[in-house]
Chain A
Amino acid sequence: AQSVTQPDIHITVSEGASLELRCNYSYGATPYLFWYVQSPGQGLQLLLKYFSGDTLVQGIKGFEAEFKRSQSSFNLRKPSVHWSDAAEYFCAVAPESGGSNYKLTFGKGTLLTVNP
Chain B
Amino acid sequence: DAGVIQSPRHEVTEMGQEVTLRCKPISGHDYLFWYRQTMMRGLELLIYFNNNVPIDDSGMPEDRFSAKMPNASFSTLKIQPSEPRDSAVYFCVSRHAGPNTGELFFGEGSRLTVL
Known: A103-B48, A103-B56. A32 touches B102 (CB 8 A): yes
Listed stretches B66-74, B78-86, B105-113; interface member: B105-113
Contact among B42, B48, B50, B91 for A43, CB-based, below 8 A? B91
Asked whether B43 is an interface residue with its Cβ less than 8 Å from the other chain, the reply is: yes
Asked whether A101 is an interface residue with its Cβ less than 8 Å from the other chain, the reply is: yes
Asked whether A99 is an interface residue with its Cβ less than 8 Å from the other chain, the reply is: yes
Q: Considering the chains assembled together, what is the distance between the CA atoms of A101 and B50 in angstroms?
A: 13
CB <8 Å contact, A90 and B107: no
Interface size on A, residues (CB 8 A): 25
Q: Considering the chains assembled together, what is the distance between the CA atoms of A101 and B100 in angstroms?
A: 10
Nearest residue, chain B, Cβ from A49: B102
Q: Considering the chains assembled together, what is the distance between the CA atoms of A101 and B48 in angstroms?
A: 12
CB <8 Å contact, B42 and A106: yes
Residues of B within 8 A of A106 (CB): 42-43
Q: Considering the chains assembled together, what is the distance between the CA atoms of A109 and B95 in angstroms?
A: 22
Q: Considering the chains assembled together, what is the distance between the CA atoms of A97 and B99 in angstroms?
A: 8
Residues of A within 8 A of B109 (CB): 41-43
CB <8 Å contact, A46 and B31: no
Nearest residue, chain B, Cβ from A107: B42
Known: A42-B108, A43-B4. A90 touches B100 (CB 8 A): no
Residues of A within 8 A of B99 (CB): 97, 101
Contact with A along B86-109 (1 / 0, CB 8 A): 000001010100011011101111
Contact among B43, B50, B93, B102 for A90, CB-based, below 8 A? B43
**Closest A-B pairs by Cβ, 6 of them:** A43-B106, A106-B43, A108-B42, A46-B103, A44-B106, A49-B102
* Interface residues in chain A, defined as those with a beta carbon under 8 Å from any beta carbon in chain B: 32, 34, 36, 41-46, 49, 51, 90, 94, 97, 99-109
In the assembled complex, 15 residue pairs joining A and B whose CB atoms fall closer than 8 Å, in A order, are A34-B102, A41-B108, A42-B108, A43-B93, A43-B107, A51-B102, A102-B31, A102-B33, A102-B95, A103-B48, A103-B56, A105-B45, A106-B42, A107-B42, A108-B42
